Amino acid sequence: MEAKEFRELTSEELDKKIYELKEELFELRRKKAVGQLEHGEQVRLVRKDLAKAETVKRQKALGIAK
């Protein structure tokens, strides 16, 4: 997801999306640990999306969201 898409979400939707991304990241890390993960770049992409979502959440909290 692009940061622009995260900015369009409400605070509640953004919190829900962050929670979902954290769950997905946990599951991917678990699969990686037991050797079931075929595409390791998925972990990187989810981490980046999580960082974007948390950044937008912080910007909204500070009132500097674009």
pLDDT in tens, the chain (66 residues): 898 999 999 999 999 999 999 999 999 999 999 999 888 899 999 999 999 999 999 999 999 866
For CA atoms 53, 58, 62, 64, give the dihedral sign.
negative
For residue 6, give the 3-state DSSP assignment: helix
- Tell me, what's the pLDDT at 40? 84
- Report whether CATH 1.10.287 matches the domain 3-62: yes
Q: Is 62 helix (H, G, I), strand (E, B) or coil?
A: helix
Per domain, the residue ranges of the chain are 3-62
pLDDT of residue 14: 96
Per-residue pLDDT at 66? 65
